[in-house]
Amino acid sequence: MRPLNLDSPGIFAGGSALGPCFVEEAITQGRGAAAQAAIYLERQARERPMVKTIAIVNERLCSGCELCINACPYHARIMDEEFRVARVIESLCAGCGACAMACPNGASRQRLFEMQSILEVIDTALWQ
């Protein structure tokens, strides 16, 4: 018996989503559902680690205009004064793409969003 699990894997419920119950029961079920979700996510991360979609900079195309630095809402961009190119602080980058949109030279790009990858996804969608 798994009273908090629903039919789909990775979806858990508790409290009034399962039926009428007292507040104490709802709190306990909510905690249990949260624990089950954490266990499920941890197992999924072990089985297939997620690749973080972060920004990258092509240093040959970067002109040092600092537009990407100003556009980044997470302050994940800095200017390398020695080489006069933008750098990405990977631990701060959330992969929002604002820097890639602001870059006039196309030097800033999102990892995993290269043109070849996008065309492969489109081809796969069209052939199914």
pLDDT tens-digit series, residues 14-29: 888 888 999 999 999 9
Burial level of 33, CB count in 10 A (0-12/13-18/19+)?
Answer: buried
- Residue (of 55, 60, 105, 61) closest to 77 by Cα position: 55
Domain 55-127, CATH class in plain words: alpha beta
Predicted TM-score of the model (pTM): 0.54
Q: Give dist(CA 70, CA 84) in Å, integer.
A: 15
Given a contact cutoff of 8 angstroms between Cβ atoms, the answer to whether 95 and 109 are in contact is no
Q: Supply the pLDDT for residue 94.
A: 87
**What does pLDDT average to in each consecutive run of 10 residues of the chain (128 residues)?**
76 88 92 91 77 86 94 94 93 89 92 78 83
